[in-house]
Structure 1
Amino acid sequence: MSTVIIGHTDNAGEVLGVHGGSGVMYWTRVATGSHLHGDWDGVEWVAFDPGGRAGLHTHSHTEEIWYFLRGTGVIELDGVRHDVSPGSIVLTPLHSRHAAWNTGPERLEYVVIEVFPPDITKALPPRKPTDEHEDKVAI
């Protein structure tokens, strides 16, 4: 069985001062782990206008993969700063301390893929994205 999920970024939520940062973070979750068989927590789209930032924070239950689509920025990962631009990929391991901010003149946009590490996966029930039968069609 296959499933197609079509997400849109034009109805993103606005989060103010995320993790003690500044400005507005535009955020939308395109897919959750319940849409996939694997040990994924979710797929998200994130954006910051010029000068916006997410403050330093740590994840205790997921690791993240960030893929940059637009703009320029800086990522701080465990005390080291890295410049990012379209095509950059950042991996934030479990318990890493990280922050992101837009240093450029245009919106910084990226996709975040959150995955569970093995210890969390072991505690989860088996994944099954849907109970729909193949002959049902959603309209």
Structure 2
Amino acid sequence: MPSVIIGDTASPGRVMGVHGGVGAMYWQRLATGAHLHGDWDGIEWVAFEPGARAGRHVHSHTEEIWFFLRGTGVIELDGERHEVGPGSIVLTPHHSEHASWNTGDERLEYIVIEVFPPAISGALPPRRPTEETDQPLSQQDSTEAGA
């Protein structure tokens, strides 16, 4: 049975001037792709206080899916700006240039899912997230586990 990793946003890192931006970015990796077989790199929680931003940058090894939870902002993707808010989703393709700004008066929060594009995943060794065998739990273990 594979392991399950659960993260939270209670103790995020505080990164100042990320990618040449302004203010603090709060960041917490919730899970890493090494825990499953899929070609994804990680799930992260990101937040910017009002007026803070991440500068323009390019990812050379991942693509990203951003899902906005709270606040309002602007995302620049390959020179084009888009307004975002709760429920917005943004896809940043491999080698795209992107930046984000908090333009509202409350914290801008979003989840980032980083995935590997075919050029990268094709060069990676097969994933093997756990050394455990796929043996079913014994009756005693099932009872102890609350099953």
TM-score calculated relative to the size of structure 1: 0.94
Question: What stretches of structure 1 move > 4 A for 4+ residues in a row?
Answer: 133-138
Distance of 1:105 and 1:80 partners within structure 2? 23
Q: Cα deviation per residue 1:104-139 (whole Å; 9 max; x = unaligned)?
A: 00000000000001111111110011113464899x
2:111 is the counterpart of 1:111? yes
Letter aligned with residue 50 of structure 2: P
- Corresponding residue number in structure 1 for 2:8: 8
- Corresponding residue number in structure 1 for 2:52: 52
Give 1:2 deviation, angstroms: 4.2
Runs (5+) with no aligned partner, structure 2? none
TM-score calculated relative to the size of structure 2: 0.89
Percent identity over the alignment?
Answer: 73
Distance of 2:60 and 2:6 partners within structure 1? 29
1:9-48 alignment runs, 5 A limit? 9-48=9-48
Runs (5+) with no aligned partner, structure 1? none
Distance of 2:130 and 2:30 partners within structure 1? 16
Give 1:70 deviation, angstroms: 0.3
The 10-residue stretch of structure 1 (73-82 or 128-137) with the greater mean CA deviation from structure 2? 128-137
Distance of 2:32 and 2:68 partners within structure 1? 20
What's the C-alpha RMSD, in Å, of the aligned pairs?
Answer: 1.7
How many positions carry a matched residue from both structures? Answer: 138
